[in-house]
Chain A
């Protein structure tokens, strides 16, 4: 390979560069990893780094700049020594993120996006960090700080540096309150991320029972019969998805694991990565065996620093002990895993955008057909599955598909990690049988509404799901039941709103998120998300007009369903459902130029 600008990196880093690039079938895929590396070295992506990456990987430099400008965590200019990124999306907003941000602004004397004159602090307002259970949350350099308050913020201001405990690791995870915990059995187990611990708890038994003992077609069939659905949000039959991959092909096939957990209200995969990484690895081996795959890429969002470190250690350990690489456990089956870190873009959780990103481009969703099963990563057949989906596979093969299917509701097999956040007593991850009622999840397991207030509304499946009113929560939390109820299970991010929440404001959290995260490819979504957010903000500021609500519904109606990916639909759903279900509240806002909720701040 051509070596350019040797002086850019020190010799040991250069060695790392070569290693990174060698992991990929196409070297262009190393764009984001190398930019991340350069940023680690120099604090930001310097023009020299852009030039180096372009020349070293033989890509147009404009593509490198496109990438730098697209991903929020790649910085084209030097930030302050301590970067404080306060999450202001729904999950955290419901728990006081705005107040925390205001305090930080006041104390630092800067606005989000600015750096203090002494260069010590950069303040940012960011979208969902995937830690709603600790809301409000900030990412302080690489570390998450939860339960933000004036006190915790003061601690950050006084103590620059990443020397705090990572809150994510000490998460208040709630174990399955009913039935037998499957994935969550590892959540409170000591050293559960170590291979030895995993082996003591039937780790790799499924692989031993399957590899070389079951025909791959039967493996796929078993997964079909288990009723395991895609738990990233789409809910498609996993076995069916695998069966679309051509059996005979001259091209390599890939498994891509979607660990880009970004749907606001969702933080389940993070626990698997931190607490049960070997479970995921075993699931990946099973999936790869079924489809005839020998190379897997695991795309993890950049914000997940600690989960990445845990995962990396687990993969290294599995390699070292023969559970990955060539001839796994003497079965003759090979599998390599490459961990690929993102750079800050919600859209990369969309599977085709993820593939683009993995190939070193902006995360723009692809036109379909062709589907990834036929033309996926590097133009080859590709299976893309979510972390949680894969992590249930070992149970299915260790204990049988009938047992697994029997745990859930019809056609919705097994258990589910439900993420509960917002105004409940005990936010957290709850592993419950698929189809548990939403009422039970909120009131029985998550401790009911915080501070004894009244339930007002629930977002059942991440920010993109249609909202349910307090009267609509007697619904089974599975894909089919929620669809019948006019909403979706999505990523099972349950966000609970109580009667102190202003719905206009709640909608503004969502519209801000979508306006910020639209990739900008399709005109309806690119222009619609921004337009909608401006109208909602105007209503919130007391400048609403009578025609606004019908306009919003109309804009949303034509933004949804008319774009390349489902983002347009997702961005439309909150608008439509909040306004339709809480229209009187929106009208009050417009007419009286303030909120009708006592103590709610209509001026944002």
Chain B
């Protein structure tokens, strides 16, 4: 393994590493535009030029492989002067329309200008005119004048999605990113080109002009769209109610995890955030008039949490245990699933089973999994039977009139049962309790609705299809009066005579680690932000 010196500090790196990687290891951040660790090396922006002893010219750090004894300087006068000039070149034909550019605030032309530029403009010529605000597909807008032709987006569609929608046309300073006339950038991962675009050339139709990025806060999380568990950041804002109708979450961005999603997420996941703010169940409610009417939500009347939980506990007692069906969901966290089993199974003595639609959704050999739930694997590891036959059995039992009480966690049974089948279940049922985050037809059929927090409003863990346990973090307060699912379960447990002492979810997780062998030794700290694989 070669050892080299960067800015006077020695570092030993793997053979074949590049200077930019070696410098990174020492904490030296060499500016770059075209370089992206997930893509091939293009070497065209020239921003990462550094001084290397014995080389007559400056070398690009992204392509130059380290050699033993190399002496690199990333902050020498000539390097800094060159960087300043490279920035100036990149800005020669750039429109400098920052005030109306959606990238402002997260633009690497702005960032590097402040850090490495700060020269006075000496440009006195007309700029090359190119196309602006061009829709190149369902998700992305292109502004060619802002583009610095780093080719990251082209390499992404060539190398990652292998769909090759994008190209660079013409040559010289008339070069321009584009798509073939009549085609679209419409692959399942198109939004990623916006993330990797270092400037305002590619912006996200969903996000542009919604919120200035400096109003955003970010919180790490995990996408709940499928069993891949892609690592994400939730970008939200709370202070400006006039933005996006008062919604809190503005967008999801991928969060790098070499073991899971690298730098990417799919569009389905990326644009799957609206449920956090839309159509939420704000308060516990009961159906008035009782029994069931078909008007759904309109017949619901809010009641205080205490009353709601009392009612639930009372009803659970009234209906015989063997006439209950408790349907857990692979959308629940490990902590919730564990606790649901403890409360319904151990304490209340009811049969709890996992209902998973198991519909084969779209999948590919990259990030998108057919199982559209984040925690099917977690449920399995916690002892839930995740077979499809569970559901069929329950339907048979219901048809036989043997189900009088139904406790549903979040899922909409109408989504995976035919309406007449669902009717066979709900019809004879005396009591349907729905504990979930959003209104759906099943919630609307319920006699009692207990609002729970979404994943972005609580701590917890999911186990992805690789058996990797990954943490989610509370980014937002639970909406309205909703509570994290584990708190609701603790409330039921208390009313059933067994008070639980948890104050935070890590206590539940520690209990899981002690009780379930494959979780043994894991803690929230160990899992960290990148996850840990089960034993």
- Shortest CB–CB separation between residue B140 and chain A, in angstroms? 15
Bound CA–CA A277/B137 (angstroms): 52
**Closest CB pairs A-B (n = 9):** A60-B164, A520-B175, A558-B85, A530-B173, A62-B167, A534-B125, A69-B169, A527-B89, A518-B172
Is B530 located at the chain interface by the 8 A CB criterion? Answer: no
Q: Which of A362, A515, A523 contacts B46 (CB 8 A)?
A: A523
Is B242 located at the chain interface by the 8 A CB criterion? Answer: no
Is A562 located at the chain interface by the 8 A CB criterion? Answer: yes
**B220-277 at interface with A (beta carbon < 8 Å):** none
Q: Which residues of B contact A255 (CB under 8 A)?
A: none
- Shortest CB–CB separation between residue A134 and chain B, in angstroms? 28
Q: Is the CB of B174 within 8 A of A562?
A: no
Smallest Cβ-Cβ distance to A557: which chain B residue: B85
- Shortest CB–CB separation between residue B174 and chain A, in angstroms? 7
Is B82 located at the chain interface by the 8 A CB criterion? Answer: yes
Q: Which residues of B contact A345 (CB under 8 A)?
A: 171
Q: Is the CB of A530 within 8 A of B46?
A: no
- Shortest CB–CB separation between residue B55 and chain A, in angstroms? 11
Q: Is the CB of B173 within 8 A of A562?
A: no
- Shortest CB–CB separation between residue A141 and chain B, in angstroms? 24
Q: Is the CB of A519 within 8 A of B169?
A: no
Is A180 located at the chain interface by the 8 A CB criterion? Answer: no
Stretch at the interface among B37-45, B386-394, B452-460, B496-504: B37-45
Is A75 located at the chain interface by the 8 A CB criterion? Answer: no
Given that A62-B167, A534-B126 are known contacts, is A520 also in contact with B92, CB under 8 Å in the complex?
no
Is B179 located at the chain interface by the 8 A CB criterion? Answer: yes
Q: Is the CB of B92 within 8 A of A65?
A: no
Question: A512-555 CB contact bits vs B (8 Å, 1 = yes)?
Answer: 00011111111110111111001100100000010100010011
Q: Is the CB of A65 within 8 A of B171?
A: no
Question: A65-81 CB contact bits vs B (8 Å, 1 = yes)?
Answer: 11001100000000000
Is B141 located at the chain interface by the 8 A CB criterion? Answer: no
Is B63 located at the chain interface by the 8 A CB criterion? Answer: yes
Bound CA–CA A444/B45 (angstroms): 48
Q: List 15 A-B contacts (CB under 8 A).
A: A62-B165, A62-B167, A62-B179, A70-B171, A345-B171, A367-B63, A520-B168, A522-B44, A526-B175, A530-B93, A530-B172, A531-B92, A535-B125, A558-B85, A558-B89
Among A65, A527, A528: residue with most chain B CB under 10 A: A527
Q: Is the CB of B58 within 8 A of A562?
A: yes
Given that A523-B149, A524-B46, A545-B124 are known contacts, is A65 also in contact with B172, CB under 8 Å in the complex?
no
Q: How many positions in chain B have a CB within 8 Å of any CB in the partner chain?
A: 44
Q: Which of B81, B82, B93, B169 contacts A527 (CB 8 A)?
A: B93
Q: Is the CB of A527 within 8 A of B167?
A: no
**B31-84 at interface with A (beta carbon < 8 Å):** 41, 43-47, 49, 57-58, 63, 81-82
Q: Is the CB of B92 within 8 A of A530?
A: yes
Q: Which residues of A contact B (CB under 8 A)?
A: 47, 60-63, 65-66, 69-70, 345, 347, 362, 367, 515-524, 526-531, 534-535, 538, 545, 547, 551, 554-555, 558-559, 561-564
Given that A523-B44, A528-B89 are known contacts, is A518 also in contact with B58, CB under 8 Å in the complex?
no
Given that A520-B168, A523-B45, A530-B173 are known contacts, is A562 also in contact with B125, CB under 8 Å in the complex?
no
Given that A535-B125, A538-B125 are known contacts, is A523 also in contact with B58, CB under 8 Å in the complex?
no
Bound CA–CA A30/B183 (angstroms): 24
- Shortest CB–CB separation between residue B455 and chain A, in angstroms? 38
- Shortest CB–CB separation between residue A365 and chain B, in angstroms? 10
Q: Is the CB of A520 within 8 A of B63?
A: no
**B151-198 at interface with A (beta carbon < 8 Å):** 158, 164-175, 178-181, 183
Is B128 located at the chain interface by the 8 A CB criterion? Answer: yes
Smallest Cβ-Cβ distance to B176: which chain A residue: A69
Smallest Cβ-Cβ distance to A518: which chain B residue: B172
- For chains A and B in complex, what number of residue pairs have CB atoms within 8 angstroms? 127
Bound CA–CA A62/B177 (angstroms): 11
Q: Is the CB of A520 within 8 A of B172?
A: yes
Bound CA–CA A530/B90 (angstroms): 12
Q: Is the CB of B172 within 8 A of A562?
A: no
Q: Which residues of A contact B171 (CB under 8 A)?
A: 69-70, 345, 347, 362, 517-520
Smallest Cβ-Cβ distance to B93: which chain A residue: A527
Is B86 located at the chain interface by the 8 A CB criterion? Answer: yes
Q: Which of B43, B85, B124, B126 contacts A524 (CB 8 A)?
A: B85
Q: Is the CB of A367 within 8 A of B86?
A: no
Q: Which of B82, B86, B172, B178 contacts A516 (CB 8 A)?
A: B172
Q: Is the CB of A564 within 8 A of B43?
A: yes
- Shortest CB–CB separation between residue B100 and chain A, in angstroms? 23
Q: Is the CB of B168 within 8 A of A561?
A: no
**B394-443 at interface with A (beta carbon < 8 Å):** none
- Shortest CB–CB separation between residue B167 and chain A, in angstroms? 4
Smallest Cβ-Cβ distance to B179: which chain A residue: A62
Q: Is the CB of A519 within 8 A of B45?
A: no
Bound CA–CA A517/B81 (angstroms): 27
- Shortest CB–CB separation between residue A291 and chain B, in angstroms? 26
Q: Is the CB of A66 within 8 A of B168?
A: yes
Q: Is the CB of A524 within 8 A of B172?
A: no
Q: Is the CB of B167 within 8 A of A66?
A: yes
Bound CA–CA A430/B181 (angstroms): 50
Is B294 located at the chain interface by the 8 A CB criterion? Answer: no
Q: Which residues of B contact A60 (CB under 8 A)?
A: 158, 164-165, 167
Q: Is the CB of A65 within 8 A of B169?
A: yes
Smallest Cβ-Cβ distance to A367: which chain B residue: B43
Is B526 located at the chain interface by the 8 A CB criterion? Answer: no
For the complex with contacts A515-B172, A516-B172, 8 further pairs of A-B residues with Cβ separation under 8 Å are A70-B171, A519-B172, A522-B43, A522-B45, A528-B92, A538-B124, A558-B81, A558-B82
Bound CA–CA A517/B89 (angstroms): 17
Smallest Cβ-Cβ distance to A70: which chain B residue: B171
Q: Which of A367, A529, A563 contacts B173 (CB 8 A)?
A: A529
Q: Is the CB of B49 within 8 A of A529?
A: no
Q: Is the CB of B86 within 8 A of A562?
A: yes
Q: Which residues of B contact A564 (CB under 8 A)?
A: 43-44
Is B114 located at the chain interface by the 8 A CB criterion? Answer: no
Given that A61-B183, A62-B180, A564-B43 are known contacts, is A527 also in contact with B122, CB under 8 Å in the complex?
no
Is B123 located at the chain interface by the 8 A CB criterion? Answer: yes
Bound CA–CA A529/B172 (angstroms): 8
Q: Which residues of B contact A515 (CB under 8 A)?
A: 172-173
Q: Which of B82, B126, B128, B175 contacts A562 (CB 8 A)?
A: B82
Among B45, B123, B172: residue with most chain A CB under 10 A: B172
Is B148 located at the chain interface by the 8 A CB criterion? Answer: yes
Q: Which residues of B contact A520 (CB under 8 A)?
A: 149, 168, 170-175
Bound CA–CA A561/B86 (angstroms): 12
- Shortest CB–CB separation between residue B17 and chain A, in angstroms? 15
**B77-130 at interface with A (beta carbon < 8 Å):** 81-82, 85-86, 89-90, 92-93, 122-126, 128
Q: Which residues of A contact B169 (CB under 8 A)?
A: 65-66, 69-70
Q: Which of B47, B122, B126, B178 contacts A551 (CB 8 A)?
A: B122
- Shortest CB–CB separation between residue B160 and chain A, in angstroms? 14
